[in-house]
Amino acid sequence: MIDAFMSASRGTSSEHLALQPPCLTSPSDQTTSDVDSELQRSMRNVMKLRRGLNLPVSGEQNSKEQLEQIIRRMDKEIQTLSDEVARSEREQFQHRSLLDVADKEKELEHASRQFANPSADPAAADEASRNCERLRNELKQAMLFNNSKVA
C-alpha cells in the first residue's frame, strides 16, 4: 500500500497514467490519431446539425420551388383537361346534330307514309302534305346546319 502511494505520488504507476487526462500524458501517435478521428467525427456531427438547422430555410425554398412546379404541372393538366372537355362537347354536339337529322328523317318517312295512303278526308290529306313539307324543310335545315358544323 505504501509502495502504491509512493508510485502514485511519483507518477510512475500505469493506473495513475490511465487516470490522467490525455493532454497530461506524453503524446503518442496512437492517441493523437484517436483524438483526431474523434475530432473529425465531432466536426461531422456539428456540420450535420448545422445543416439540420439551416434545412428549414433551404427547405422552404425547395418547398416553394416544388410547389411552383406542382402548380405548373396542375395548370398544364387543367389546360389539357379543358381542351379535352371542349373537344368532347364539340363531338357531342355533332352527335346530337346527327341524331336530330336521323329523327327528322324518321318523322318525314312516317309523314310520307301517311301522305301516300289515300285518305277519304281532304283536310287530313292536306294536313299530311303540309306536315311532309314542313319536315322536309326542317330536315334540309338540320342537314345544312350539321354539314356547316362538321366542316
Say how far apart CA 114 and CA 28 lie, in whole Å.
121
Sign of the torsion formed by the C-alpha atoms of 101, 106, 112 and 114: negative
C-alpha cell at 105: 328523317
Per-residue pLDDT, 8: 67
Per-residue pLDDT, 58: 57
Instruction: Specify the amino acid at residue 72.
Output: R
What confidence tens digit (pLDDT) does each residue in 102-122 have?
A: 888 888 887 777 777 766 777
Per-residue pLDDT, 32: 75
What confidence tens digit (pLDDT) does each residue in 8-56 have?
A: 666 654 554 555 555 555 555 567 778 778 888 888 877 777 776 665 5
Say how far apart CA 106 and CA 99 lie, in whole Å.
11
Per-residue pLDDT, 150: 54
> Up-side HSE of residue 87: CA atoms within 13 Å toward CB?
6
3: CB partners within 8 A, 6+ apart: none
Per-residue pLDDT, 77: 92
Per-residue pLDDT, 30: 65
What confidence tens digit (pLDDT) does each residue in 55-88 have?
A: 555 556 778 888 889 999 999 999 999 999 999 9
